[in-house]
Chains A and B, each alone.
Chain A
Amino acid sequence: MQPAPHHSHTLTLAAVAATALAAAFLLLHPAAHGDAAPTPFFWLCTVALGAGAIWTIRRVAALNTGRFDGVLTAGLFGLWILYFWQILVVAFDVPRVLLPAPALIAQSLVENWPKLWGDFNQTVVRAVTVGWVLGSGMGFGVAVAIDRMPFLQRGLLPLASLTSTVPLVAVAPIAVMWFGFEWPSKAAVVVLMTFFPMLVSTLAGLQASGKLERELMYSYAAGYRRTLWSLRLPAATPFIFGALKVNATLALIGAIVAEFFGSPTVGLGFRISTEASRMNMALVWSAIVVAAVTGSVAYALLVQLERRAAFWHPSVRGK
């Protein structure tokens, strides 16, 4: 527990502006864009700028302006990392195949956009979406179906946890063998990965309604289906959304890794593995950026949906 030091906002703003300006100037130095070998003066400036960057991050971290403080600090940190990555990679003349500069990655992203869009389509729009919807849907459906059969539940759950220890890597080649090289085999892998988390979470959610609430419905002589619809399913929504969020991540990973095992000449996983073996690292990074952005956007969308559906739950209310 450290009390936050009291800093003035204007000083922080001035600090950030000043270091940003200095950073811009440093970019003008020939060593910064690879036209000349770095001089000791250049290194001095870089180190000084590094210290300045750390100073601005600390200042921003100490701010207490409101809801966006966390975003500001993390964002500033990310920007500085990108900047120093760019400068150092060029100054040290790091081989492109090892670690390309951010500018190069951005360039590759723009140049190869048509290819990457096709990959995105193949992997995300088809394999991931279909697999995620199917797998989560089936998990939900089976959970509701066996809700009244404790015997099946007790038999199924240990088997379910067993299959979750089967690494997805093991399932991918079999899926390719059964469903072919195209995207259905990747969707099949995703279905398998997402089915059990959804099943377990839905079952847990269905049991989450309180005893008093269930007795209340009983005192209203409400039947099984009415109780399910009015009480137990709404009470289960936080659990269901938790599983949907986890499944979104699993789905993306599953589809991409499944493509490592064989794919037609399109797909994010395919792109990553083939371009990596060709040492075309800029394109590999571009594909990873696409995958990362997809994952983050999907997660953020689900968080928004959850906020609508499970607005009443303490964890969503922010308690």
Chain B
Amino acid sequence: MATTIKPAPWWEQLLPVAVMLLAVIILWYGAACGMNASGAIERVLDPTGNPWTWQDLVSVTLNMERPILPAPHQIALDFWSSLVDWPVDSPRNLLYHVAVTGQTTLVGFVMGTLLGLVLSILIVHSRTLDRALLPWIVASQTVPVLAIAPIVLVILGSLGLEGLLPKAVIAMYLCFFPVTVAMVQGLRSPQVIETEMMHTYAANRWQTLWLLRMPAALPFLFPALRVGIAAGLVGAMVAELPTGATAGLGARLLTGSYYGNTLAIWSALVMSALLGLVLTTFVAGLERVSLRHRR
């Protein structure tokens, strides 16, 4: 069932969102001071032997090298510097990692969507597949699919497949489940009177599929695509972890975590949120174009 609330028009949302953002940023600065305080006192202020004031504490906690919680401006600076201070194809530049992860996600997404479409068409037209396969696909949504990522990578690695493809396969695996389930629901959504009407036109199954079922299924497809591409992004990032990968946002998070480089972690986090936003907006744009003539 749909669990979305109708959003207010954007101008009505601007003020509340701006206020919330401001509140979040203020709280963040406060939290940064609080959480970094003990480390700051231990490592920076006390060793100097001089007495320190609140202002010193605040300025130190907000500019530490290895903070527990970096201040927003620190993250912004690190983010920016990684974009402009290094050439685009250097591993120090976040855009390099975005390209790697983004490519994997998109390839996996396209493969997963195609697989999901084909599978859903087959399921809708074959009673056998519908009863034998669909329950497993639905049940597998309750299984933590991401846990399988390491296995898949090992299997594919030993088959000689390295690089982009195994990671894209994992992203594909995560995309095709929501697409299949949603498309099956969508392809079956036409009412009985509509399918009976096609029957009176002596339309064969392919015509019914193309002229009735597919258009009826589109409103079901796009929300699933949005879920699918977000899941694909997560899959791509998780796929970068096990093989000691050095490229991609997931790998960057892992290396940052190993070396205690907090700022790198947060920059990568912001970048992955942005990438997720761009990808879902892209799909939402596709939706708007495809469904522009509908209610």
> In the complex, is A directly touching B at CB under 8 Å?
yes
Interface set of A (CB-CB < 8 Å, partner B):
1-2, 4, 57-58, 60-62, 69-71, 73-74, 76-78, 95, 97-99, 151-159, 162-174, 176-178, 200-201, 203-205, 207, 238-239, 242-243, 248-249, 252-253, 256-257, 260-262, 268-269, 272-273, 276-277, 279, 281, 284-285, 287-288, 291-292, 295-296, 298-299, 315
Q: How far is the CB of B118 from chain A (nearest CB, A)?
A: 19
With A157-B5, A166-B276 already in contact, the answer to whether A288 and B147 are too (CB < 8 A) is: yes
Q: A169-B237, A177-B68, A272-B147 are in contact. Are A154 and B12 (CB under 8 A)?
A: yes
Distance from A8 Cβ to chain B, minimum over Cβ atoms (Å): 17
Listed A/B pairs (9) with beta-carbon separation below 8 Å: A71-B135, A74-B134, A97-B154, A98-B158, A154-B12, A155-B20, A170-B265, A238-B1, A281-B151
User: Could you tell me if A61 and B68 are in contact, using CB atoms closer than 8 angstroms?
Assistant: no
Produce 1/0 per residue, B110-139, CB < 8 A to A.
000000000000000001101111111001
Question: Within the assembled complex, what's the spacing in Å between the Cα atoms of A74 and B280?
Answer: 34
Q: Which of B4, B13, B131, B268 has the most CB of A within 10 A?
A: B131
Nearest CB of chain B from residue A160's CB, rounded to whole Å: 10
Q: Which residues of A contact B195 (CB under 8 A)?
A: 1
Contacting pair A4 B127 (CB below 8 A): yes
Residues on the A chain within 8 Å of B133, using CB: 74, 77
B216 within 8 A of A: no
Known: A178-B69, A256-B146, A260-B242. 4 other contacts (CB 8 A): A97-B154, A98-B155, A207-B5, A249-B142
Q: Mark B178-205, 1 if CB is under 8 A from A, else 0.
A: 0000000000000000010001000000
Contact B3 A201 (CB under 8 A): yes
Q: A174-B269, A204-B3 are in contact. Are A158 and B13 (CB under 8 A)?
A: yes
Within 8 Å of chain A (Cβ to Cβ): is B289? Answer: no
User: Given known contacts A155-B17, A173-B254, is B127 in contact with A298 (CB within 8 Å)?
Assistant: no
**Interface residue B32 (Cβ < 8 Å from any Cβ of A):** no
Q: Report yes or no: B147 in contact with A268, Cβ–Cβ below 8 A.
A: yes
Whether the pair A78, B8 counts as a contact (CB closer than 8 A) is no
For B142, give its contact among A284, A288, A296 (CB under 8 Å).
Answer: A296
Is B199 a contact partner of A174 (Cβ separation < 8 A)? no
Question: In the complex, are the beta carbons of B5 and A176 less than 8 A apart?
Answer: no
Q: Residues of B contacting A288 with CB < 8 Å?
A: 143, 147-148, 151
Bound-state CA distance A239–B150 (Å) is: 34
By CB atoms of chain A within 10 A, which of B5, B147, B238 has the most?
B147
Given A165-B276, A166-B269, A169-B253, is A257 in contact with B1 using a C-beta cutoff of 8 Å?
no
B154 touches A276 (CB 8 A): yes
Known: A62-B127, A256-B146. A167 touches B233 (CB 8 A): yes
Q: Determine which residue in B68, B132, B145, B272 has the highest number of CB atoms from chain A within 10 A of its CB, and name it.
A: B132
| Chain A to chain B: the 4 pairs with minimum beta-carbon distance, closest first | A155-B16, A165-B276, A155-B20, A173-B257
* Residues A154 and B147 in contact, CB atoms below 8 Å apart: no
For chain B, which range describes its interface: under 10, 10 to 19, 20 to 34, or 35 or more residues? 35 or more
In the complex, the answer to whether B144 meets A296 with C-beta atoms within 8 Å is no
A98 vs B133: C-alpha distance when bound (angstroms): 25
Given contacts A2-B127, A169-B234, contact A285 B266 (CB under 8 A): no
User: What CA separation (Å) do A151 and B14 show in the bound complex?
Assistant: 11
**Chain B residues in 8 Å Cβ range of A238:** 1
User: Is B91 an interface position by the 8 A CB rule?
Assistant: no
Interface string of B7-26 (1 = CB under 8 A from A): 11000110011111100100
Chain B contacts of A158 at CB under 8 A?
7, 13, 17
Alpha-carbon distance A237/B24, docked complex (angstroms): 31
Given A170-B237, A207-B5, A239-B1, A74 and B136 contact (CB-CB distance below 8 Å): yes
Report whether B5 and A174 are in contact in the complex, using a CB–CB cutoff of 8 Å. no
A295 with B143: CB separation less than 8 A: yes
A246 to B136, CA, bound (A): 17
A170 touches B68 (CB 8 A): no
Question: How would residues 142 to 170 of chain B score, 1 for a CB under 8 Å from any chain A CB and 0 otherwise?
Answer: 11111110110011001100000000000
Q: How far is the CA of A202 from the CA of B195 in the complex (A)?
A: 37
Residue on B nearest A72 in the bound complex, by CB: B131
Determine the chain B residues whose CB is within 8 A of the CB of A164 once the complex forms: 230
Most buried by A among B16, B159, B241: B16
Verify B144–A70 contact, CB threshold 8 A.
Answer: no
Residues 40 to 69 of chain B near chain A (Cβ within 8 Å): 68-69
Question: For residue A201, which residues in chain B have a CB less than 8 angstroms away from its CB?
Answer: 3
CA separation between A169 and B234, bound complex, in Å? 7
Question: Nearest-CB distance from A192 to chain B (Å)?
Answer: 12
Q: How far in angstroms is the closest Cβ of chain B from A46?
A: 20
